Amino acid sequence: MKNILCMGLALVFGIPAAMGAISRDPYIGAVVIDANNGNVLFEDGADKPGYPASMLKLMDLFLILDRVQQGSIRLEDPVQITKEVSAIGGSQVYLDPRERFTVDELLYALMVQSANDAAMALALHVGGTREGFVRMMNDKAKELGLSPVTQFHSPHGLPPGKGQRPDMTTPRDFAKLCRALVQAHPETLKYTSVTFKVFRQEPLFEMRTHNHLLGSVAGCDGLKTGYFADAGYSIAATAQRDGARVIAVVMGSVDRKVRDAKATELLARGLLDASRAPAAPPLPPPPAVKPVPAPAAPAVAVDDAAQGEELAEPAGEEEAVSGKGGGWMKSVGLVLLGAFLAAVVGMVIQRRLLLGR
């Protein structure tokens, strides 16, 4: 039944029924999408099937970052290396069963070195078995709404062994996968933008990226290349500039330089037409600080004799308004008081004189 289904897909979607060279000049298909809204900015054979090769390691990254986000695994977790892992072949970091590396270290090996042994080690760590992890890859493809053409059969993208079908996808499907990955896990670009990293000190092993657009295309910070002889050269690339981000997928080029030239051209064209993410709103102004009234001066007990001008309160508003009238009344009062005191003093003196006689 499975063979009949595969033959049906081959007829409907043009999927090759058996392995063979499918690369073309300049490519089998290509697409550019706006990462902000998903709009297609360019397409040419975007639905033609091809072999993703090592590009599919981005699906590995997606599944692992999902589980880190969910808390079922941690980046610091050590990963066991088995004999199956160390014998994988192809691009690798030469893992040894006597070694232990963390999930985080193997993710860098997966993205920078495109290490097949790192892919297998992570697959077994997360999926339990190779088949279990591949099943997770295909479940994720369905969750993302990818077409039935996209089918994964390995966690690394190497050419299949005898009796096994190759991994398959289309430029449009893979661009959707890349956009969903970057949206769900922005930290993806932390791994895909690295051009050089030391993986092991003893014996020394240095990793260098296969993505030659990094460092040569302004704003490029990922994602992943893929190649084997029958598949040709493929790349999923992304770049951002002035609030715009685009994702370009070029699949099945006969030559690496042609692939890179086309990807560079498509990124530049896409950035011209892409939408700009809205600028972050300006920060609100700090709240106005209300002036704090000065505390009232504490009451001070002062002797009448010591009270001087310093303690006299200034004239109030009402007194200033009352003007000359108030001053005249005060003068009359003082004159009368003085006359009264003079009379009293006179009477006292007169009485003392009389008594003295």
Two tokens at 118?
């790192």
CB-based contact 111:57 (threshold 8 Å)? yes
3-state secondary structure the chain: CHHHHHHHHHHHHCCCCCCCCCCECCCCEEEEEECCCCCEEEEECCCCCECCHHHHHHHHHHHHHHHHHHCCCCCCCEEECCHHHHCCCCCCCCCCCCCEEEHHHHHHHHHHHCCHHHHHHHHHHHHCCHHHHHHHHHHHHHHCCCCCCCECCCCCCCCCCCCCCCCEECHHHHHHHHHHHHHHCCCHHHHHCCCEEEEECCCCEEEECCCCCCCCCCCEEEEEEEEECCCEEEEEEEEEECCEEEEEEEEEECCHHHHHHHHHHHHHHHHHHCCCCCCCCCCCCCCCCCCCCCCCCCCCCCCCCCCCHHHCCCCCHHHHHHCHHHHHHHHHHHHHHHHHHHHHHHHHHHHHHHHHC
Selected catalytic residue, list 48, 57, 224, 262: 57
Is 197 one of the catalytic residues? no
Rounded distance between C-alpha atoms, residue 354 and residue 350, angstroms: 6
Selected catalytic residue, list 23, 48, 54, 253: 54
Is 234 one of the catalytic residues? no
Question: Which residue carries 């590009």 as its tokens?
Answer: 55
Selected catalytic residue, list 23, 86, 91, 114: 114
CB atoms closer than 10 angstroms to residue 327: 10
The helix-helix angle for 130-143 and 116-127 (nearest 10°) equals 90
Is 54 one of the catalytic residues? yes
What are the catalytic residues? 54, 57, 114
